[in-house]
Amino acid sequence: MWKEAHEPLHGGINALNKHCGVGPGMSFANLVLEGDHCIGVIGLVPCAIGGKWGSHLYKQLLKRANAALQDGGKIRAILWCKGESDSLDEISATMYKMRLIEFFLHIRGDLASPALPTL
């Protein structure tokens, strides 16, 4: 079910019951629309949740993304904005780049979109 976006975009999806603040989603959508008025409607599929990402959160992301594809929707890009939880220890910080590349490869494969842009 689509509804008009408003801040906070992530309200009600944070499983850790943390306060959902303002992120880059609305600013990004507005900037895209300002750049090309012919785009039409932009659908945002917020999936950001604080904490470590694991298989449960990834499955939720795929569920939301696949719901957005219903009725002819198309995912045109992923806007990735990561917090600092991956810098809490040296091992996580060192492995972040490799894990992020792996994550993008997996999501592109799972959404059958090998050239899906990630910003």
> Quick check: is 17 in a domain?
no
Residue 14 domain-assigned (yes or no) = no
Give the pLDDT score at 53: 65
Q: Is 63 among the domain residues?
A: yes
Domain assignment present for residue 102? The answer is yes
Per DSSP, helices labelled H in 2-54 are: 25-35
Taking a C-beta distance cutoff of 8 angstroms, is the pair 107, 75 a contact? no
Question: Residue 21: its pLDDT value, please?
Answer: 63
pLDDT tens-place string over residues 23-72: 788 888 888 888 888 888 888 888 766 666 677 888 888 998 999 888 78
> Is 53 a member of any domain?
yes
Structure confidence at residue 10 (pLDDT): 67
Query: What mean pLDDT comes out for the span 105-118?
Result: 93
Domain presence at residue 117:
no
What is the average pLDDT value for the chain, to the nearest integer?
Answer: 81
Look at residue 12 and tell me if it is in a domain.
Answer: no
pLDDT of 39? 81
Helical packing angle, 55-68 and 90-110, nearest 10°:
30
Q: What pTM, to 2 d.p., does this model score? A: 0.73
Total structural domains within the chain: 1
Determine the average pLDDT of the residues in 11-32.
Answer: 71
Average pLDDT over residues 88-95: 83
Q: Judge whether 7 lies within some domain.
A: no
Model pLDDT, residue 4 = 83
Q: How many CB atoms lie within 10 A of CB 109?
A: 11
Domain with 30 in it: 25-110
